[in-house]
Structure 1
Amino acid sequence: MWVFYMFSLPVAIGMVIVTLNYFSGPDVPKYVFFTVAYTWFCSVSIVILVPADIWTALNNYESGAISFLWSLSYWSTFLLTWAVVPTIQGYEDAGDFTVKERLRTSLHGNLVFYLSVGSVALFGVILLISLHKNYWSGNISGFAMACSNTFGLVTGAFLLGFGLSEIPKGIWLNADWNIEQKVLSHKVAKMAVKLDDAHRNFSNAIVITQATSKQMSKRDSLRPYMNIIDRMLLQMLKEDPSFKPQGGRLGESDMDYDSDEKSMASLRRRLKRAREQYYRYRSEYTKFVLEALELEDTIKNYERRDTTGWKYTSCFRPERIGKVGAFLETCEFLWKCILWKHVEKSLAVVLGVMSFAILLAEATILTSGVDLSLFSILVHAAGQQEVLVQLAAFIPLMYMCICTYYSLFKMGTMMFYSLTPKQTSSVSLLMICSMIARYAPPISYNFLNLINIGGNRKTVFEKKMGRINDAVPFFGKGFNKIYPLIMVI
């Protein structure tokens, strides 16, 4: 039962650490790094527990360990995503000068948000109890879990539906060099505009900071705060001597930052966010430019294959010499110019078939007697082979997670956050980990609805989630069976 889980758990830990090291920016504190790492790990652990849970249910095993691990992972993600992570996120985003003030700003912002949401929830609880007072057997904790689960199920249906169609289509289109070249050209041009705006905003923030510092006397009560901001600006310019502020202009209200402590905190926050935005856009612009140049290299090498003897030459590195170098040049040509296109198209076809199988399973989830879920058929076909059963469950479940998170990142990049190599800020990392934790249990529960274990058997996951949803009549079993049709449409 634990063969697959014990193998995948250390792999998951390694992937979380490597991914965080790759994306986290240079200024991310250690406590943020470990908070994000633990949140991601709890989210992944829920996903890798599902195959083991399916195996125990198929073989009528009673596993208290799975029940304990599931509860630990679920409640960890629940508390992290709704309480701990938002508090740390607000603390990191605050521009105040002391720990106490930053924490107060964070708690105040989160309190306002949760009071607004809580007032609506309280009205819902009162209405629910009054309408179902004779037979409502739920409790407040069950109601809270049901609301969290239903939020993930409903919004996750739209995210999953977009990813299921967009990922295979995108991979198929990327196999066409002409289309990919147009897409990269568009991305480079779009990112160049964003980079120019970010450079101007950062320049403005620097000019405003310097002007505010110059006009403030040494005896001013706010001077100690200004000194902190000056040191921060000096460190920024020292880290990147190549950056030259240009086009900085002062607006009518830009000299009002020296009025009180809160305004100084706003100035510090503005300078910090302008810097993060500039380096994030610069990193993304550089990445798209390099991808465009590499694609141009590939196209040129393919067009000149007869004259170069099917050897790959790159503008990023010197030509390899010797027999081994010539062999490597040929291998690189075959991979980049010949094979990779076919690999992409084959992968797009496989993922397209998997997307269709998921849609078919979701669309026929209400049917009884006939099992049209390909994943359910594969799980039962694996029989008593423990590893095969768990792989047959894990692969499509992971694909559903990838599709949902792909849509989540696409939406977030346009509005709230961005996952950029080596330049992702603390606030973005915390927001991303919060959203990942919020959707891991609903995606897993959705997938379990696609597996017909048979014989009135249920996984530990379904038993716990079933009790959660039965606690509130409005979020009953019928809803969980009907909502996937939204995603199919």
Structure 2
Amino acid sequence: MGEASYGVPAILAVTLVTAYMLHYFAASECDLAVRFMVMVSWTLSLSIVALVPADVAATMYDEETSSLSTLWDLSYWITFTLTWFVLPFHQLYEDAGDFSALARASTSLRENGIFYGVIVFILLLGAILLTSYGAMTSESMATFALASSTMFGICAGIFALGFGLVDVPKIIWRRADVAKRQAEAHRRLGVASRALEDAFVGLRKVIKASETTREVIPRHHVYAWAVAVIARETPKSSAFEGAMDKVDDDVDGVLDYDYDELSDLVALRRELRRRTRVYRRTAAQYAVAVENAIEAEAVFNCGAGAGGLGDRGCLMTPDGGQRRFRSPLRAPRQGRYGEAVEAVEWWWKCRVEPVLLRVLAVALGAFSVLTVWAEGTMFSTQAMEGADVSPFSAMVRAAKDKGGLHMAVAIPLGYMCWCAYHSLFRLGMFSFYALVPGHTDSFSLLINAALTCRFAAPLSLNFLMMVPSLREGDANKETTFGRKFVDGVPDSARNFAAVFPAILVFYCGALAFGVFDKIFSACTSSFGGSLRDKYKFESDEKDLERNVHTTDGKRIAERERSAMQNQTKPKIGSGSPYYFELASGDMGRESEMADLGGRGGDVDVERAGLLSAGGRRSQPRSDERPESRWERNKERLASALERTGELRVAKPPGAKPPGSSSRASRFGLGRGLLGGSGGTDSSTGGGSRLDSMFASLGGDK
């Protein structure tokens, strides 16, 4: 009855939390398969954390744990399969640019080959070791897999946990200081604006490549259907309202592109999907940064004062001394209770919130110190017969009933998971993934789901090892999950899991006191200021890049705020020439693809027979020079256009073919491709447009 009274509310709470998180973060274009996979991953990961209090209570009160054992097995092994096999496959499947489900699956398996090869190698190594000791059974292999995954999770999770233990209280403390909060918001807006510009440049290049490809491919080309699919997914240049011409075309990087090779069209489509995904995500991050910056400015200017908490200026506002808060992000509140609501907001944002944030920062800082203390002294009870000085063990010992015991376990464990996942989130910002409210793409959701599955069980086991009071009075007493890890696992692995977390003491101390900044500064001082500034941690207050981003962010916030004052409904985006909302209407329409023989949706190329042997083109030789390959392709294009009637050579020798000057120059083919000479002299301007378009395509993925 005790397990049911806790388990049912816990399962319901976990399900509701994961459903809300998915609704809050997922973008509208995320398909049902991705949503289902992420929902299952998050639910099972959080259920592992939710099972720990029930496991501790059942151990302390000597209750039957058969149902807990089943739940542990289901939760752990499903998440193990998801994080190491299913989710990595699904990530690259979503990232692939192939034109059919089977081809995308093949690409995912091929690119995951190294990852899966490492896993297979570790499993084979474990099988050899177990066989040498005469313990090769199905149970021993399962135990070896559990121990290997848990050891990896503990090693990586300790570093993620350590960063979060220092960074979470620091961020909350800085937010309480309204002056520093404004400067930090401006800095983040400057960083977001720079990232948005980079994302726009990358998207612009691939859009031009896609549009140029659509122009030069003949109507009856064998791969016209593939170009139609790419064109349908390409944002229109007109949607950017002239901003396509604001970026210099001289961009480093070359993509060896071949218009009539299916593999190159697949690469183009993949690059297009990546760039579009990154731009949408970065634009959403920019919008959030603008909102935070304008909100911080409003709090600072509405009475908090430059001196921060405790300044007498907090009692006055620019509005005639009235204590009212008005945000530029919305219209002034009207109606009977409008002034009262604004007064309540002023008291909350200018007086109450800063105090509560500092109290919360101090409390979380104390919890971080207790966590580091417990991690650093774990080895004394786990690896040797030492005294129990763990504060979390004392909290469990002091619990009077099951309710108090559940709280004594759930609160510190929840804080540890929060800190660890906070680090993973900060790791992905403006790089390979990010969680953005309402705009998180499928690839980012799947990466986060895999990381959540990977660290839930190791963090839970790490917490259980910090609570040695569970075994008091009974030398054989052990939690269900702890027993599953101990049984069949070598003593060296258990001792390592107990001793390694002690590194957290030195790691957190180095982060808190800026030791890493000083080390990098000393190591790079002899290489000049540029290199020294490049390799600095984000926590360094003297970072020159921080000042540059702060200045840019302040200027952008001023432009955004000025534009909002002239709008009936305030809308973000006027402060940056690179911010655009890519809605479904901005993509190519099916009617525009009709002249290319395209279809309205994804093409089932296997069923349509479009990848038959007759439709394939021979792959280029590996020793063929890219220049000759491109010239050969321009000859093919000219021949294809001539066959399909796009160009007709009907003039006497020595005269220009009709339309050759306009049509050929439009396609960037130049002279020598269509005339009687039959040459391919690119020095006369031949292929200039395609050469420049695809020479600039490439760069970071």
Q: Given the two structures, how large is their TM-score scaled by the length of structure 2?
A: 0.65
1:10-159 alignment runs, 5 A limit: 10-119=12-121, 122-123=124-125, 126=128, 128-129=129-130, 133=133, 139-159=140-160
Note if contact 2:392-2:466 (Cα within 8 Å) is conserved in structure 1: yes
Asked if the contact 1:172/1:345 (under 8 Å) is kept, the reply is yes
- Any conservation in 1 of the 2:130–2:140 contact (CA below 8 Å)? no
Distance 1:45 1:22, change over 3 A: same
User: Do the aligned partners of residues 321 and 259 (structure 1) sit closer, same or farther apart at CA in structure 2, a change above 3 Å counting?
Assistant: closer
Equivalent in the alignment of 2:192? 191
Give the corresponding residue for 1:328.
Answer: 341
C-alpha displacement of 1:238: 10
Post-superposition shift, 1:340?
0.5
Where does 1:374-393 land on structure 2 (aligned, <5 Å)? 374-383=391-400, 385-393=401-409
Structure 2 CA distance for partners of 1:183 and 1:256, relative to 1, 3 Å: same
Q: Which amino acid aligns with 1:429?
A: L
Give the structure 2 partner of residue 423 of structure 1. Answer: 439
Counterpart among 464, 482, 493 of residue 462 in structure 1 = 482
Please show how residues 256-271 of structure 1 align to structure 2 within 5 Å.
Answer: 256-271=257-272
The code of the aligned residue for 2:297 comes to: E
Q: Could you report, residue by residue, the CA deviation over 1:99-121 in whole angstroms, capped at 9, with x for unpaired residues?
A: 11011111111223211453365
Is this contact kept in 2: 1:70–1:461, CA < 8 A?
Answer: yes
Q: Which residue is 2:215 aligned to?
A: 214
Deviation of 1:326 after TM superposition, in Å, equals 2.0
Q: Which has the higher helix share?
A: 1
SS at match of 1:483: helix
Checking the alignment, whether the CA contact within 8 Å between 1:23 and 1:423 is kept in structure 2 is yes
Structure 1 residues 313-392: aligned runs within 5 Å: 313-321=326-334, 324-365=337-378, 366-367=380-381, 368=385, 370-383=387-400, 385-392=401-408
Question: Counterpart of 1:305?
Answer: 317
8 Å CA contact 2:376–2:503 kept in 1: the answer is no
Name the structure 2 match of 1:479: 496
Distance (Å, rounded) in 2 between the aligned partners of 1:473 and 1:416: 38
Deviation at 1:262, TM superposition (A): 1.4
Instruction: Return the match for 1:449 from 459, 465, 468.
Output: 465
CA–CA distance in structure 2, aligned partners of residues 242 and 308 of structure 1: 44
Q: For residues 173 and 253 of structure 1, do their structure 2 counterparts lie closer, same or farther at Cα, with a shift above 3 Å needed? A: closer
Q: Give SS of 1:60's match.
A: coil
Q: CA 1:53–1:259 in 2, change beyond 3 Å: closer, same or farther?
A: same
Q: SS in structure 2 opposite 1:305?
A: coil
In the alignment, the residues of structure 1 paired with residue 17 and residue 428 of structure 2 have an alpha-carbon distance, to the nearest angstrom, of 22
CA contact (8 A) 1:93 1:427 kept: yes
8 Å CA contact 2:323–2:346 kept in 1: the answer is yes
SS of aligned partner of 1:437? helix
Asked which structure has the greater RCO (Cα within 8 Å, sep 6+), the reply is 1
How many angstroms does 1:481 deviate by?
Answer: 1.3
Amino acid at match of 2:465: N
Query: 1:310 and 1:440 mapped to 2: Cα distance?
Result: 46
Moved more, 137-146 or 453-462: 137-146
Q: CA deviation at 1:250?
A: 8.2
Q: Is the 8 A contact 2:179 2:300 kept in 1?
A: no
What's the secondary structure of 2:222's corresponding residue? coil
Which residue does 1:8 correspond to in 2?
A: 10
Compared with structure 1, are the counterparts of its residues 73 and 189 closer, same or farther at alpha carbon in structure 2 (3 Å cutoff)?
same
Whole-angstrom distance in 2 between the partners of 1:322 and 1:25 = 35
What is the alpha-carbon distance in structure 2 between the residues aligned to residue 333 and residue 226 of structure 1? 56
Instruction: Provide, for residues 42-83 of structure 1, a one-character-per-residue CA deviation record: whole Å limited to 9, x for no partner.
Output: 000000000011001000112211111111000110011111
Alignment of 1:158-169 (within 5 A): 158-169=159-170
Equivalent position SS for 2:244 = coil
CA contact (8 A) 2:123 2:145 kept: no
Hey, what's the Cα distance between the residues in 1 that align with 2:220 and 2:283?
Answer: 39
Contact preservation (8 Å) 2:213, 2:259: yes
1:22 is matched by which residue type in structure 2?
Y
Distance in 1 of aligned mates of 2:282 and 2:67: 46
- What residue is the counterpart of 2:693 in the other structure? none
Q: Unaligned regions of 5+ residues in structure 1, if any? A: none
Task: For residue 497 of structure 2, give the secondary structure of its aligned residue in structure 1.
Answer: helix
Give the partner amino acid of 2:405: V
Q: How does 1:249-260 map to 2 (within 5 A)?
A: 249=249, 253-254=254-255, 256-260=257-261
Contact 2:199–2:279 (CA under 8 A) maintained in structure 1:
yes
Instruction: Give 1:404's match in structure 2, choosing from 396, 400, 420.
Output: 420
Q: Which moved more, 1:297-306 or 1:242-251?
A: 242-251
Partner-residue secondary structure (3-state), 2:158: helix
CA distance in structure 1 between the partners assigned to 2:262 and 2:465 by the alignment: 54
Contact 2:165 2:419 in 1 (8 A): yes
Q: Judging changes above 3 Å, is the alpha-carbon distance between structure 1 residues 195 and 379 closer, same or farther for their aligned structure 2 residues?
A: same
Task: Report the alpha carbon displacement of residue 237 of structure 1 after superposing the two structures with TM.
Answer: 3.6
CA distance in structure 2 between the aligned counterparts of 1:100 and 1:155, rounded to whole angstroms: 34
Q: Is the 8 A contact 1:205 1:270 kept in 2?
A: yes
Structure 2 letter corresponding to 1:344: L
Q: Which letter maps to 2:478? A: K
Structure 2 alignment gaps of length 5 or more: 306-315, 507-701
Q: What is the one-letter code of the residue matched to 1:401?
A: C
Separation of aligned partners in 1, 2:171 and 2:402? 34
Q: Residues of 2 paired with 1:121 and 1:57: CA distance?
A: 32
AA at the equivalent of 1:207 = K
Q: Quick one: structure 1 residues 363 and 25, their matched pair in 2 at CA, closer, same or farther if it must change by over 3 Å?
A: same
Contact residue 222 and residue 258 of structure 1 kept, 8 A: no
Q: Bigger shift: 456-465 or 366-375?
A: 366-375
Distance in 2 between the 1:221 and 1:474 partners? 62
State the AA in 1 paired with 2:278: Q
Shift in Å, 1:139: 2.7
* 1:257 Cα offset (Å): 4.1
Aligned-partner SS, 2:36: helix
Q: What's the secondary structure of 2:337's corresponding residue?
A: helix
- How many aligned positions are there? 481
State which drifts further: 148-157 or 178-187.
Answer: 178-187
Aligned residue for 2:326, secondary structure, equals: coil
How far apart in 2 are the matches of 1:188 and 1:355? 29
Aligned partners of 1:354 and 1:326: how far apart in 2?
40
Measured at CA, do residues 370 and 300 of structure 1 come closer, stay the same or move farther in structure 2, by a change above 3 Å?
same
